[in-house]
Structures are given as C-alpha cells and as structure tokens.
Structure 1
Amino acid sequence: MDLVKNFQFSRILSNSTDSKKIYLLGTIDSQNAIVAIEKVAFDLDPKSLSDYKSLGIDQLRLLDINDVYSWNMATLIQNIDSNPAAKVNVIYPASDTHIKKYQESKPRYIVETPELYQKYVAPYVESMRGDRIKWVHQILFKGTEAERVLTRVDEDPSGRNGTFVLLPDLKWDRKTLETLYLIAISIKDIASIRDLTEAHIPMLESIRDKIYATVYEKYGLEPSQLKIYVHYQPSYYHFHIHVTHVQLQQNDFGRSIFLDSVIEQLRHLGPEGFSKATLTYLLSDTHDLWTNGFSKELR
C-alpha cells in the first residue's frame, strides 16, 4: 500500500520553523495516521558545490540589494537520489499516545520523587511495555531492520554484560555526518534509568566504549565529536541510548542526561541507584503522566 498517497489530511499537529519539520494528522483507510515532513540538510560535498547549477538553484528572484548585501528567493532542482527535498515518515496506525506526543504542547517542570515515581510513573511504565514495544523486540530478537544494524553485541567478552544493538535512527539521512543520529538499544530487560543501579556501571561503560569504537570505525568521528545521552522520560520504555554529532541541535532540553553523568551519579547513589533518587525534567502538558498524574500533585 502507498501510505502517503492514501493519506487524508485532518489537521496540523505541530510545526517547527527552526527544524523545518511539520507533523500532520489524518487517516489512512479510516485509521489515524501521522505524516512527518522534514526538509533535509544541504549536501556539503565540495564536488556538489563546485558550480552554480550543482547548488541546486533552478530559478532566482532578487528581493532587495543594499551595498554588499543582496536577498533572493529561489526554487531548487530536486532529485530523489542525489538531492531530495524532504524526508517523509509515516506512523500508521497512529495511537492516541503517538498523537499526544507530536501535537503542539507546553512543557511542565517536574520534580519526581521516589514516592511520585511509585504512585504514577511505575504503573504507567508497566502499561507501556509488552506489545507497546513489540517493534523493539523485533529488532533485538527477530532480525527486523537487520540491514541497518551497525553493530550487535550478543555476548560481551569483557564480562560486563554490555549487550546491545546499534543502528541509525530514522531521523538521520545516513549521509550528513553533522546530523548523525544513532540509537543503542540494550538487549537486557531494563525500562529506563530508574532501573539502573551501581551494578550496571560496567555494562554502561562497555556499551559506551563499543559505541566510540564503532562510530570511529564507520564514520571517523572521535569521542569528543559525539553526544551520548539518555532521555527521561523516554519515548518508549526499553532502555536505549542516543548517539548524535555534537553539532546536531535537538529540541530535547530538559529531558537529556549525558551517559557519563548517569555513570557518575550511579557511583554515588549506592546499591539502590536511581530508584531512590529525585529526578527533575520537563514534560509535555499533553503527556498522560501529566494529565492523569502529576497535574494532581504539582502546579
């Protein structure tokens, strides 16, 4: 089925002029669907920039000129293989959770104590496991997306249990290094950083070191050129680590914790780890944890 051609637009969920991305809600065969359209980064290959036509400029109209400055509007030559205009991602069928995730919202500052975690977050996490993360289990155990996997560690020879799968995130065009975005998914059954204790430090260090080695081997990027971090709250509750180029600008302030900071905090939190820590973060006011939980406790 051609999902995009069958998409019937209903409304705009959200739009970002900074990231040049728009999320559209509609239906495909009477079921909710989300289409995300994002303009791609320019090709920075010097060969592609060597002459006027290779810049991709088709038509040019002068808007204004003042001394050494001029302003123009242009249309660009597009080619689906060498110079695509945009990335188009589809979520179908889209659940209410998907819709809430991508619709326009306002952030709330959360101070999550261990007591609030047990009261609201732990039951929510449990409800978001199982079939909700079936797609993760298919990557880990069924070979789905195997062609995209950069490295897979099923047995850690170091004895540190750092078993994981590393693959490109669908947000990345797999071409522009400055927008590199990878995901490392732990094979161990861990939901989020709340489950981590000091016993997991060797595992986290092993995963981090293997990420460094793999990214250098594949893309020539050194550790100081990478951001390696986790989200809390995460988008899905199977422990995963984000790996991006340091130049990539992400709209995830208030959710991100560098992996090295996680490791260092675990050294001081004792055997119970993050389960007894108070965590602060930003949460969308459309998130179920806010509407069905924290809004009753926090203002």
Structure 2
Amino acid sequence: MCSLNAEPLSDASRAAEISVDSLAKFTPTRILSESTSTGSIYILGTLHDSPAIVHIQKTVLESAKAGDVLRGLEKIDLFLENQPYFSSHAWIRPTPDRAPDLQIKIICPATETHIKKYSEQERFIVCETPEIYRDVVLGYINGFDESRLGWVYAILDGRKEAERILYRKEGDEEGFVILPDLKWDQTSMNALYLTVLVQTRSIKSLRDLTRSHIPLLNSIKEAVYDTAKQKYGVGAGKLRLFVHYQPSYYHFHVHVVHIQSEAFAGMLVGQAHMLDDLITLLELSPPDGPSLLAQKTYTYPLGVEHGLFEGMKAAGAILD
C-alpha cells in the first residue's frame, strides 16, 4: 500500500514511502478533472498495484520573492510581441533555497468514493428539508464505515501528523486541534488554509450542533485567531472560518482560509456556512429541543456522482 497526506485511509501504517522513484512508476489511466486557472489536475492511475489518485498543482508564488524569481531566470522564450504587450514562457534556474514548483498529493489506495469526488460531474441544486434529512441523509451518514475516518482519529490521537499540529486543546467534548490543511503548501500567506478537527465524535455535521456547543465554537474561533496571528502574522480580519454542508467527511471540522485566497467550489454559496452565522443561529435557538440548524432547510449543489444523489432524486429534493 502507499501512503498519502490527503485523506489517508486507516491502513496507512502499512504504506510504502512515497518518493521520486516510486512516483515514476505511477501508471496513469485517465484525467478525472483539471483547472486551468489554478494549474491543478487530478489523475487516476495505479501505484504499487493499488488504484491511486495523484493531484498535481503549481505552487503559489511568494509575493515577497517575485522580484528574485525574475532575476533568477534560466531561459525565456518570447512567443508574442505586439508593443506594449509581450508574452513568453520562462524557465527558473534551480537553486537550493528556491520554493518548490509543484505540490503533489496522493490518495492511495483510492476508493470509488474518492474517484467520484474528484471527477468532473454534473451538479444540481438540492433542497434538503429536515424530513429529507431524516429519511435520506441520516441513513447515508450512519451507513459509513467508521474506519473511513481512521485518518482523522489518528491525528486526534496523536498517532499521525503530530509534528504538524499548531494548537491542541484537550477534552473529550471541548477538545480540538488546529493544523495546516493539506491543500496549502505553507509558502504563501495569501493562500493560508487551516483545518480544525474537534475531539468529540458525536457531531457528524452542522445539523448536530446545539446551544450546548456554543462554548466549543467560540473557543475554536478564539484559538484560530490567536494561532494565525502568532504563527503566521495573519490577523482575524483576514480569515474566513466556515463549515461545509454537505461535508466531504462526517466528523465535524472547521475550515480557515485567508480572505485573499481565490474562491473555490467549497467556498461558494450553499456549500460554505460562516462559523459566526452558525453561532448566531444557535444563540437564537430554543433552550430545549432541536436547534434552528437542525430545523432549517438547506439548499446546496450536489454532484450526480455523490452517494446521496439518487436518494435525493427519489425523495424529490432535486430541483427540475
């Protein structure tokens, strides 16, 4: 088996080391999706006799070093000259202190769920009422094998990625960790991306949040602000804190993204819910009984390859 630093499975301890030599043996099968704006591409193939997804993306150029890059060019090939406009391809001279050109993430072994998630697919708007959540979504969530969250539990238990933890608060119900998200190459502050994982396993999604969780959410917010400022010099006013619905995995977590970061699908209306808004809705919720988050209807995009799509379609939640 091979290891990954993007959604690893619970048997990652049996993984083989990922190296230049091993990646050279990757056999591509097909392109799952690509983005010309971000220089990102997802490739499905085989690695160490296992299905694997390799994500290749150009790293973000550090703004403070942009001038140095221009002074360190090895070759330039001008392909358009029409004064005052010029375009060219350029090659940067390798140096020991130069930032990496590519960020490579690997999912291996890749499951059918991974393949569907990263494949280009048609999407539709879904209206999920509390009743549809109860009849369709809840069964889907409860049907997940807990071993698929093994990589999350390994982080929370300190068995994996311990050196990457930026902040840890202990406690079975009030505990959480903050660490850099694997989508961030940790070079450009404008692309800063952190993830907060809560210790409790009782919160699968934001529908499970109640008034009793307000102290936890406020504690997360304060810790994120302090950590981003102390570790990276990024102030609270430069951060987006949000929660996905539907999330990509059903263990409650909070995304933290620099406001200058280019918007991606997970930050669009319907998918992302600001943490402050969730706290406000919980504060407005009745002291007893379901919270407003549990009672409201959610409208969001859903891909045809998502495991919920057919159930939502049968329940009449897909808008025509």
Per the normalisation by structure 2, the TM-score is 0.86
Distance 1:141 1:251, change over 3 A: same
Deviation at 1:51, TM superposition (A): 7.0
Could you tell me which residue of structure 2 aligns to residue 288 of structure 1? Answer: 307
Deviates more, 1:90-99 or 1:22-31: 22-31
Residue 238 (1) aligns with residue 263 (2): no
In 1, the alpha carbon distance for the partners of 2:144 and 2:280 equals: 28
Q: Confirm or deny that 1:167 pairs with 2:186.
A: no
Contact 1:78 1:84 in 2 (8 A): no
Shift of residue 43, structure 1, vs aligned partner: 2.5
Report the CA distance between 1:162 and its aligned residue.
3.6
Q: What are the within-5 Å matches in structure 2 for residues 99-110 of structure 1?
A: 99-110=115-126
Q: Provide structure 2 residue ranges, at least 5 long, that are not aligned to the other structure.
A: 1-15
Percent identity, please. 37
* Contact in 1 for aligned 2:60/2:187 (Cα 8 Å): no
Which residue is 1:41 aligned to? 60
How many residues align? The count is: 291
Secondary structure, aligned partner of 2:284: helix
Which of 60, 63, 70 pairs up with 2:79? Answer: 63
1:14 pairs with one of 33, 42, 46: 33
Is the alpha carbon distance of 1:51 and 1:197 closer, same or farther for their aligned partners in structure 2, counting shifts above 3 Å?
Answer: closer
- DSSP-derived class of the 2:276 partner: helix
SS in 2 for 1:288: coil
Q: Which residue of 2 aligns with 1:29?
A: 48
For 1:172 and 1:268, the matched residues in 2 are separated by 35
Query: Alpha-carbon deviation of 1:5?
Result: 2.5
Matches within 5 A, 1:184-223: 184-189=196-201, 190-223=203-236
Matched letter for residue 137 of structure 1: Y
Amino acid at match of 2:285: L
Counterparts of 1:101 and 1:73, CA distance in 2: 33
Using the size of structure 1 for normalisation, the TM-score is 0.91
Partner residue, 2:111: 95
Distance in 1 separating the partners of 2:281 and 2:152: 27
Equivalent residue, structure 2, for 1:228: 241
Letter in 2 for 1:193: L
CA offset at residue 79 of structure 1? 5.2
Per-residue deviation at 1:170? Answer: 1.0
In structure 1, stretches of 5+ residues that fail to align are: none
1:172 and 1:51, CA in 2 relative to 1: closer, same or farther beyond 3 A?
Answer: closer
In the alignment, is the contact (CA less than 8 A) between 1:163 and 1:207 conserved in 2? no
Cα distance per residue 1:83-104 (max 9 Å; x no partner)? 3211111100000100000001
- For residue 271 of structure 2, what is the aligned residue in structure 1? 255
Name whichever of 112-121 and 270-279 sits farther off.
270-279
Q: How big is the shift at 1:251?
A: 2.4
SS at 2:115 equivalent: helix
